[in-house]
Structure 1
Amino acid sequence: MATNHALTSDENPNSSQLLATDQTNLDQTHNFGAQISGDTVTPNSLAETSDQDPKVNSYSKIDPRLPIVGMVFYSEEEAYNFYNSYARKRGFSVRKGHLSKRKDGSVQCRHYICSNEGKRQLHPTHITKKPRPLERTNCLARIEFTVNRENIWVVRRFSDEHNHPMASPNKACLLRSHRKKVQKERPVFAESDLYHGVRPDTAKEHEDMAETGTGTGTAMVSGTNCLRKKRVRDLEKGDTQLILDFLKKKQIEEPKFFYAVQLDEGERFTNCFWADAKSVADYTHFGDAVCFETSYHSSMYDLPVAMFIGMNNHKQIIVFGGALLLDETIESFLWLFKTFLAVMSGKQPETIFTNFSVAVSEAISAVFPMATHRICLWHVVNIACMHGQAQTFGQESSFRKEFENLIYGSEFETESGFCKGWDNVMMKYSLNGNSWFSDVLNVRQKWAPPYQCSSFAGIMASKDWYMIMGNLFKRHFYRKLPLGKFMVQYFKSITELREKEWLEDLETLRTRPVPLVDIPMLAEVADSYTQTVYIDFEHEYKSQLACICETLTVNGSMYTYRVSVPQKPYMGIVEFEPSEVKVSCSCKKFESMGILCMHALKVLNNNNILYLPGQYILKRWSKYAKDESENDALAVRGSENGRVWRKLVELMVKSSFCKEILGIVENGLDKFIGQMESLAQGLDTDEVNIGENLHSNPLDSNNISFEGFEFYTR
């Protein structure tokens, strides 16, 4: 820790030439004027003084933690820790730089620099096939210490000129110099010490809280949303209370945590849904494609576990919310989808992937009419292998390989090619009479790749997603996990997923992909996309180099090309409009994946379009998909108006189940806004911004920031 006063000979008898300075003046200005003369410290300035830089002096009055010339430290560890602590607050990592020693081995001068200092050296004789992303940006930020023979460390020079983005405060801890090596110890409890995964004292505490009605939640009972039947599976009273206690505990730990519980006509627990503020914010940015996953069942009750899963701008899994359901009937799905839609401010996904279920399909049509419903290929492949086991005995591995090739193979990308391949597989393994395969073929428009290219899916329709989803459940869950342990494991898995996301965010912020060659379009994309998505784009760009482009027709300003790859069966028909630089391809890769295909890139290249048009760089794949400054401001607003947001969300959820109630709420809000506008006319515009605070939807996904509360609906 830095010394907040000048050194005197009394405080440090080993330095006879250290002179006292006026204490009051030092505390006011934090100008620890000291000068190295030979190997001693004397007052006044060094090579650079804070008096010569009035900006430093004025800034240090505001923030005494800002390093300034003349600050004194008594050890190398103290000096380094101070600057490293400052670096963490600023959002950069520290690296040890130049070190100068005397003949006797004692330190005379030490520099600490930003980790982005310097630049990568080019070695023409050692060129890697795929160079690592660039991290060095030749940053000039540094701090220089001069050390006398008494081991007194004094700041000689300080520069804070960074030329790269800074990490946000919540991610700075992931930077190299700020990581702490902590020996992780897994707590070991006897089975008798666990109340279905929750410590007895914790469970008892929340049982008392539930009985007394204390806590941060507010109860909501809606007679229009009662489950008009008794549950098929009766949960034990302790298990029901266990779930509620765990959710209450999460609510105390995270004030913005939300959950809703549905009761049946006998006042018994049936369905529940939960989501936190991070999930709502993620849905705002990446809610265009959602995978509704219900393949996992928990505990002895065989309860279906539902998860709303998405993908971020690094193509990683993110979770928008979780649920425990009574059963897999249309009533349960309707309640769950309506609750999810209300919490997400009414924003419907563009595409939603589910398993092969008639009940889910009907519920989606009723609640998400604007969304494209698709069946997840992960389910189709897994269930196809299960149904084919009886008739492919001894050939399971070969059947799975051929079926996966039929789904993901490039030679089956056309409708005719897919149908021909399907018939060949069914005939080879004698599956033509299997009812499941007949049923799934009848709805192939919802899952077969040749029929589903016009709606956005990201990687959810690819083999990569199939592997990611499989690893998610194998790594974090196993069947029949007790309820308490499942809830613990669920939130533990969410934490791990978010830690990986933060690491990718940080790596993308600090580094830049190295383009294959010096091409303006690749350089532009490297500055815009995340590293993961840039690799995909670069692959498409390399592939277009081998393509052949032929002009088919010219109709006014519209050009039509045929782009093909030699000795490959598939091709793309590309339409190009030069005046507005619009391009579209028959393969629909941009519509389904969000990046241009090799066919479209070939046409742009042939027409000398050096830079990628802005409309083809989707924000959801960019480095700036999440506006953190907006989120930070939002958190402040939420903390100041938590009660208001909570009541508004409660209104939203209550009214979402009845159109008549929704109309009453809308009329009431219109009257309220009118009254507030009249009242605000007499106030200072600096205090009340009508356009921003009254006309914006308080439940808009960009604005929502609600405190934690519970909903009991029946």
Structure 2
Amino acid sequence: MATNHALTLDGNPNSSQLLATDQRNLDQTHNFNTPISVDTVTPNSLAETSDQDPKLNSYSKIDPRFPIVGMMFYSEEEAYNFYNSYARKRGFSVRKGHLSRRKDGSVQCRHYMCSNEGKRQLHPTHITKKPRPLERTNCLARIEFAVNRENIWVVKRFFDEHNHPMVNPNKACLLRSHRKKIPKERPVFAESDLYYGIRSDTVKEYEDVAKTGTGTGTGTGTEIVTGTNCLNKKRVRDLEKGDTQHILDFLKRKQIEEPKFFYALQLDERERLTNCFWADARSVADYTYFGDAVCFETSYHSSMYDLPVAMFIGLNNHKQIIVFGGALLLDETTESFLWLFKTFLAVMSGKQPETIFTNFSVVVNEAVSAVFPMATHRIYLWHVVNVACMHVQAQTFGQESSFRKEFENFIYGSEFETESGFCKGWDDVMTKYSLNGISWFSEVLNVRQKWALPYRCCSFAGIMATKNWCMIMGNLFKMHFYRKLPLAKFMVQYFKSITELREKEWLEDLETLRTRPVPLVDIPMLAEVADSYTRTVYIDFEHEYKSQLACICETLTVNGSLYTYRVSVPQKPYMGIVEFESSEVKVSCSCKKFESMGILCMHALKVLNNNNILYLPGQYILKRWSKYAKDERENDALAVRDSSSLQNGRVWRKLVGLMVKSSFCKEVLGIVENGLDKFIGQMESLAQGLNTDEANVGENLHSNPSDSNNICFEGFELGITFYHPIDSIILIIPSLH
């Protein structure tokens, strides 16, 4: 790395004269669009300027490489690398700007600018059908260098006011001026892996563990143990010799890699491994932001003995898959699913989802009803389609392909969204393929309220209830797994797939923050949504807005400030009944798209447009779809609930987030550690003499080891013990020292 030379012009009279001449014309104020400057460049004057300018003083104390007028560099490369390094820490990209040369060809002046400088030039006649997202925001931040004949580069002016959001420094490596050619053997995201709880050497080390079957036998992370960890019968499936050790070694190694990695084990009556669950700190944080809809996926089976793999899956604000946790199940009974769901709920601090999707299964249905009573239970539409096709293939060989196409049109078709249309369509399909005698179809029809479109409720589901979700889930397993994948390799492949999913989310976060979608036309509502929503969600909203232009709006009733409209599309069978409260600007549609998808439907937008509502009311811009969905400064619904266990969980997540975010900088991490040491000392002095319930739980745990069903706490130091009131689940947190 090039070394920057410092803050004075001693030893170079020409550069002193040049700088003094340039500085006489500079304004001394530090307002927007005004350079930071000094008249005479000496160490004392720089110190005085730093004291007078709080902004400059704060930057200089945090990072001594903050640009200051008068700094000297001995080459163009050295000057550029210095400013580019500063830009990376701040979170913006650099472009080379104005270049002035003398008559002899030597450089006299050079400007480096923020990459968002300038505006896009519009073509006078040609109109782009779908313009690219805007990147330029006419940002005026830049640095100007004056170069004397001895090739000394001196900072002449420095503008540091940006008019756009900064990129997280952990993601700045993807900005154009910070990209570097990385060797093939080095992962692309290695520089910021720690922010996400990923380490570049994780997969290789896991493969070594899987091959040798050895491990350290210790862990430094957090483990869940429960009073119901022992399954009172033999496990249904048997693992091959060494596979249990592979799992344990793998999870323990993962704990060493990521100190806040969670895993839980369930044993059978012979103290053999039956089921296990795991989740890392990033998964817990993701659930905090996007845990409103959860997909419990069990359709994939791994290894030669058909081992079910369970995954808790959700959607982020880019409509991408995120994983909240994973599990291996050797026993698919109600007791096992009860244990798994309670463990998952304990790790997530008791926060229940609004909606949970599962396969059609009696045992899963019983467990969901017991553990998630506040959640709406839905069944995958694509699972209903797949199982139905299996029964048809067994009943009428050769008709499966035609049945699938017709049954999918019936399941997802908009003309069957009414209850009468659904019943008629179901009877037609059953009669055509002679399926009335198959008991499965009668059973799934009895629970149609959990999957059929006419009965969709007001709980949030995102795209999990759409046909696209089937393709997304299918691609996830096709890209990363195959059915006979050995267990040891499956664990490696699982975490590799998680890494790839997070890399895609990372890239989308960056592009969403750097760019802005260009609205189809200059409409205030579209401009507002483009500034709020992510790129993917904006496209969906724009589609709904364009669709409403073809709708017909008819007034049905008027009751004071409450209006009822019928919105329909010509020559289309479906329509929406919309209620509009003009006094409060509230709108609701019978199609329930906003309640289930989180964006307003074309029916509601048509009514707003007819009533001259130019801007989208704030209550219809969901934070979970916004660019700032993970902004922790705003209080979410979880903060409103005031139970002790939820408060413990919130504190836990804040500590984990503080550790992860500060880990990329050694200096910041040292500040955090010193602050925690002081806080722990104050907490211990304050807690002396207090006998809390949590302390009693920890004391009883040590004094009565037989009460924990032969669960040993091996491999980590017992620190703080939190008691979760969910079937006596105890969360062991390692000591902070």
Cross-structure match for 2:611: 607
How do 1:494-573 residues align onto structure 2 when only pairs under 5 Å count?
494-573=498-577
Deviations, residues 691-712 of structure 1 (Å, cap 9, x unaligned): xxxxxx9999xxxxx99779xx
Deviations, residues 508-552 of structure 1 (Å, cap 9, x unaligned): 111111112222211211111111111111111111111111111
Cross-structure match for 2:163: 163
CA distance in 1 between counterparts of 2:461 and 2:223 reads: 38
2:12 to 15, 18, 26: 18
> In 1, are the aligned partners of 2:9 and 2:15 still within 8 Å (CA)?
no
Q: Secondary structure at the match of 1:290?
A: strand
- Kindly indicate whether residue 21 of structure 2 is the aligned counterpart of residue 51 of structure 1: no
CA distance in 2 between counterparts of 1:307 and 1:228 reads: 24
> In 2, are the aligned partners of 1:291 and 1:308 still within 8 Å (CA)?
yes
Which residue identity is paired with 1:412?
F
Distance verdict in 2 for CA 1:124–1:378, change over 3 Å:
farther
Q: Secondary structure at the match of 2:239?
A: coil
CA distance in 2 between counterparts of 1:642 and 1:446 reads: 48
Q: TM-score, normalised by structure 1?
A: 0.81
Distance verdict in 2 for CA 1:3–1:379, change over 3 Å:
same
Cross-structure match for 2:99: 99
Q: Secondary structure at the match of 2:385?
A: helix
Cross-structure match for 1:175: 175
Q: TM-score, normalised by structure 2?
A: 0.79
Cross-structure match for 2:6: 5
Q: Secondary structure at the match of 2:207?
A: coil
Cross-structure match for 2:667: none
2:340 to 336, 341, 344: 336
CA distance in 2 between counterparts of 1:358 and 1:400 reads: 24
Distance verdict in 2 for CA 1:97–1:167, change over 3 Å:
same
Which residue identity is paired with 1:199?
D
Cross-structure match for 1:387: 391
Q: Give 1:204 deviation, angstroms.
A: 6.2
Distance verdict in 2 for CA 1:642–1:216, change over 3 Å:
farther
> In 2, are the aligned partners of 1:355 and 1:375 still within 8 Å (CA)?
yes
CA distance in 1 between counterparts of 2:501 and 2:224 reads: 32
How do 1:658-697 residues align onto structure 2 when only pairs under 5 Å count?
668=693
> In 2, are the aligned partners of 1:333 and 1:363 still within 8 Å (CA)?
yes
CA distance in 2 between counterparts of 1:642 and 1:304 reads: 42
Q: Give 1:282 deviation, angstroms.
A: 0.9
Distance verdict in 2 for CA 1:552–1:43, change over 3 Å:
closer
Cross-structure match for 1:82: 82
> In 2, are the aligned partners of 1:521 and 1:612 still within 8 Å (CA)?
yes
> In 2, are the aligned partners of 1:285 and 1:626 still within 8 Å (CA)?
yes
CA distance in 1 between counterparts of 2:657 and 2:139 reads: 32
Q: Secondary structure at the match of 1:109?
A: strand
How do 1:434-473 residues align onto structure 2 when only pairs under 5 Å count?
434-473=438-477
CA distance in 2 between counterparts of 1:286 and 1:577 reads: 30
Cross-structure match for 2:275: 271
Aligned-pair identity (%): 79
Q: Give 1:584 deviation, angstroms.
A: 0.9
Q: Give 1:420 deviation, angstroms.
A: 2.1
- Kindly indicate whether residue 213 of structure 2 is the aligned counterpart of residue 199 of structure 1: no
Q: Secondary structure at the match of 2:255?
A: helix
Q: Give 1:75 deviation, angstroms.
A: 2.4
Structure 1 window deviating more from structure 2 (134-143 vs 629-638): it is 629-638
Cross-structure match for 2:111: 111
- Kindly indicate whether residue 311 of structure 2 is the aligned counterpart of residue 286 of structure 1: no
Deviations, residues 19-53 of structure 1 (Å, cap 9, x unaligned): 5xxxxxxxxxxxxx94464xxx8899586574256
> In 2, are the aligned partners of 1:262 and 1:269 still within 8 Å (CA)?
yes
1:579 to 583, 595, 599: 583
> In 1, are the aligned partners of 2:60 and 2:66 still within 8 Å (CA)?
no
Which residue identity is paired with 1:79?
A
Structure 1 window deviating more from structure 2 (619-628 vs 349-358): it is 619-628
CA distance in 1 between counterparts of 2:381 and 2:325 reads: 21
CA distance in 1 between counterparts of 2:24 and 2:412 reads: 68
Deviations, residues 293-345 of structure 1 (Å, cap 9, x unaligned): 00111112321100000001111100000011122211110000000001111
Ranked by relative contact order (alpha carbons within 8 Å, sequence separation 6 or more), the top structure is: 1
CA distance in 2 between counterparts of 1:186 and 1:428 reads: 58
> In 1, are the aligned partners of 2:274 and 2:329 still within 8 Å (CA)?
yes
Cross-structure match for 2:313: 309
Q: Mind listing any 5+ residue stretches in structure 2 that lack a counterpart?
A: 27-35, 40-48, 188-202, 635-652, 661-671, 681-690, 698-721, 726-730
Q: Give 1:642 deviation, angstroms.
A: 9.2
Cross-structure match for 1:351: 355
Distance verdict in 2 for CA 1:64–1:709, change over 3 Å:
closer
Q: Give 1:494 deviation, angstroms.
A: 0.7
Deviations, residues 544-582 of structure 1 (Å, cap 9, x unaligned): 111111111122332111111111101111111111111
Cross-structure match for 1:123: 123
Structure 1 window deviating more from structure 2 (499-508 vs 45-54): it is 45-54
CA distance in 2 between counterparts of 1:298 and 1:308 reads: 16
Cross-structure match for 2:29: none
- Kindly indicate whether residue 416 of structure 2 is the aligned counterpart of residue 412 of structure 1: yes
Distance verdict in 2 for CA 1:57–1:461, change over 3 Å:
closer
Which residue identity is paired with 2:12?
L
> In 2, are the aligned partners of 1:445 and 1:452 still within 8 Å (CA)?
yes
> In 2, are the aligned partners of 1:247 and 1:259 still within 8 Å (CA)?
yes
Q: Give 1:61 deviation, angstroms.
A: 4.1
Distance verdict in 2 for CA 1:370–1:44, change over 3 Å:
same
Q: Mind listing any 5+ residue stretches in structure 1 that lack a counterpart?
A: 10-16, 20-32, 188-193, 647-665, 673-696, 701-705
Which residue identity is paired with 1:198?
E
Distance verdict in 2 for CA 1:698–1:435, change over 3 Å:
closer
CA distance in 2 between counterparts of 1:114 and 1:107 reads: 21
1:635 to 646, 657, 673: 657
Which residue identity is paired with 2:265?
V
How do 1:211-226 residues align onto structure 2 when only pairs under 5 Å count?
214-217=218-221, 222-226=226-230
> In 2, are the aligned partners of 1:135 and 1:510 still within 8 Å (CA)?
yes
- Kindly indicate whether residue 136 of structure 2 is the aligned counterpart of residue 136 of structure 1: yes
CA distance in 2 between counterparts of 1:381 and 1:66 reads: 61
Q: Secondary structure at the match of 2:38?
A: helix
Q: Secondary structure at the match of 1:319?
A: strand
Distance verdict in 2 for CA 1:670–1:528, change over 3 Å:
farther
Q: Give 1:284 deviation, angstroms.
A: 0.8
Number of aligned pairs? 628
Q: Give 1:136 deviation, angstroms.
A: 0.7
Q: Give 1:96 deviation, angstroms.
A: 1.8
Q: Secondary structure at the match of 2:530?
A: helix
> In 2, are the aligned partners of 1:574 and 1:583 still within 8 Å (CA)?
yes
Distance verdict in 2 for CA 1:81–1:552, change over 3 Å:
same
Cross-structure match for 1:300: 304
- Kindly indicate whether residue 365 of structure 2 is the aligned counterpart of residue 361 of structure 1: yes
Deviations, residues 639-682 of structure 1 (Å, cap 9, x unaligned): 76999x99xxxxxxxxxxxxxxxxxxx9826999xxxxxxxxxx
Q: What's the C-alpha RMSD, in Å, of the aligned pairs?
A: 3.4
Which residue identity is paired with 1:114?
C
Q: Give 1:387 deviation, angstroms.
A: 2.5
Distance verdict in 2 for CA 1:354–1:46, change over 3 Å:
farther
> In 2, are the aligned partners of 1:258 and 1:709 still within 8 Å (CA)?
no
Cross-structure match for 1:255: 259
Q: Secondary structure at the match of 2:299?
A: strand
CA distance in 1 between counterparts of 2:561 and 2:382 reads: 43
> In 2, are the aligned partners of 1:392 and 1:399 still within 8 Å (CA)?
no
Q: Give 1:400 deviation, angstroms.
A: 2.2
CA distance in 1 between counterparts of 2:214 and 2:109 reads: 57
CA distance in 1 between counterparts of 2:658 and 2:23 reads: 42
